[in-house]
Amino acid sequence: MDKQAEQFNSIALKIWNFAEPGYREERSSALLAETLEQAGFKIERGAAEIPTAFVAEFGSGKPVIGILGEYDALPGISQEAVSEKKPIPGKEAGHACGHHLFGTASAAAAISVKNWMVANKIKGTIRFYGTPAEEGGSGKVYMVQAGLFNDADVVFHWHPDSKNNAKLRSSLANKTGKFRFYGIASHAAGSPEKGRSALDAVEAMNFMANLMREHVEEDSRIHYVITRGGEAPNVVPAFAEVDYYVRHPKRTEVNAMWERLVNTAKGAALGTDTRMEYEIISGEYEILGNKSLAMAMNENLKSVGGFVLTADEKEFGRKIQTTLSNPPPLESTASIEDFNSSPEENYGSTDVADVSWVVPTTGLRVATWVPGTSGHSWQAVAAGGMSIGIKGMGVASKVLAGVMVDAFTKPALIASAKKEFEAKRGNNFTYKPMMGDRKPALNYRD
């Protein structure tokens, strides 16, 4: 893997520079697919009716070992690879969650294990899933719906972070959607009585949603942005839109909260004499953890280890840490958190969760950012575009390759993972996506 590192470092930085948001990752997706194809993988492009989704496969028969790769960027967080806040002129998005590293490390691991399979005449199938729009677009959910994971035995993934661990963890289930209100335009000063303000409806809905926060479970999360609020102050807004996220550790509670949120929108429309419609954009389960696979991942992480910062990287890190609150020591990039230590609360959401309910799945977190950095920040974009991010990506690719080799060579690992999976999921489980049977929201970033 060290011999091929230069190639994959270059790929990661190209995707970092592309910085393409969800369902717009044409160049990023194509680069990874072409790299896998050139390495001997068979490619299915446009998977699950998504132009930027693909499946790359090598080998045949069982076991089928899956690995996930993401590559979407976040809008509104443009940043150069420097230690002070410095947006890139003309660039709207940035890899603030490190998905350029995610997809590339997974591809590097898949290709390395393919080479090992050929050299050692190993039977089975490697399947790389190119999964777009993790950030709010639920790309993997559509791939689950399309049955692309049905014959997989286990699936592995990872995620950039500011620390190294492979603990058993879950996530928050979530549901997102856009509420649109339609009123009547008129002169805001000359004839306001003839108008009906769609913005009033949005504000009324938001007010009631904020009151609702007092009457939901403590682990709930509700957040929103007004995406359209009118065109000019002297025109009563005929159209307004607000984008909502609802989260909770249990999807049943998310669904209940969502129904209450819809009722606030109905009430807002009634009270402002406007019309409301809403569109569910995405929805994701909570992760179903698998201890058997997590322990195997952790053993590989301990074997590979973390990494040490150079003098230049430490100087970069010290400057970044002046912008952070109570950061841990820079040396923590070299340490591995204990598997049995109490996991911190995970208030993020991911469409990996839906995969984890149809096939045994586990992942790890690897330091690719300056210790103390949070995701979705300019500091994460900066570190991901320089050597700290690249070093962490190298760790991730080796750990993933190692646990994939374990899955191919240790049938007992897959058997144990499946037994645990079935016990946790229950005999009567039927997968039903949170967002119903809608088609991929390919324009959700518009």
At 209-244, the pLDDT tens digits run: 999 999 999 999 999 999 999 999 999 999 999 999
Percent of the chain surpassing pLDDT 90 = 96
| Whether 397 contacts 112, CB under 8 Å | yes
What does R_g of the chain's alpha carbons equal in angstroms? 23
Q: How many CA atoms lie within 13 A of 377 on its CB side?
A: 19
**Residue 221, φ and ψ in degrees, nearest 5:** -135, 130
Given a cut of 90, is residue 347 above it in pLDDT?
no
> b/e for 9-22, b at 16 or more Cβ within 10 A?
bebbbebbebbbbb
Greatest Cα-to-Cα distance within the chain, rounded to the nearest angstrom: 81
pLDDT given for residue 293 in this prediction: 98
pLDDT given for residue 365 in this prediction: 97
Given a cut of 80, is residue 386 above it in pLDDT?
yes
Given a cut of 90, is residue 306 above it in pLDDT?
yes
pLDDT given for residue 427 in this prediction: 87
Peptide bond into 75 cis (omega under 30): no
Instruction: Report in angstroms the alpha-carbon separations of 365 from 157, 167, 284, 383.
Output: 9, 9, 20, 16
pLDDT given for residue 384 in this prediction: 98
Average pLDDT, the chain: 96
Cα separation of 279 and 276, whole Å? 10
pLDDT given for residue 343 in this prediction: 66
- Per-residue pLDDT tens over the stretch 148-167: 999 999 999 999 999 999 99
120 contact partners, CB below 8 Å, separation of at least 6: none
Q: How many CA atoms lie within 13 A of 413 on its CB side?
A: 21
Given a cut of 80, is residue 342 above it in pLDDT?
no
pLDDT given for residue 345 in this prediction: 63
pLDDT given for residue 346 in this prediction: 72
- Residue range 371-390: mean pLDDT, rounded: 97
Architecture category of domain 173-284 in CATH: 2-Layer Sandwich (3.30)
Cα separation of 212 and 200, whole Å? 18
pLDDT given for residue 341 in this prediction: 83
What is the CATH code for 5-170+287-425?
3.40.630.10
- Per-residue pLDDT tens over the stretch 40-94: 999 999 999 999 999 999 999 999 999 999 999 999 999 999 999 999 999 999 9
For residue 402, the 8-state DSSP code is: H
Given a cut of 90, is residue 408 above it in pLDDT?
yes
In the chain, which residues fall in CATH 3.30.70.360?
Answer: 173-284
Confidence at 446, pLDDT banded by 50, 70, 90: confident
In the chain, which residues fall in CATH 3.40.630.10?
Answer: 5-170+287-425
pLDDT given for residue 344 in this prediction: 64
Residue 425, token pair as written in the block: 């999921």
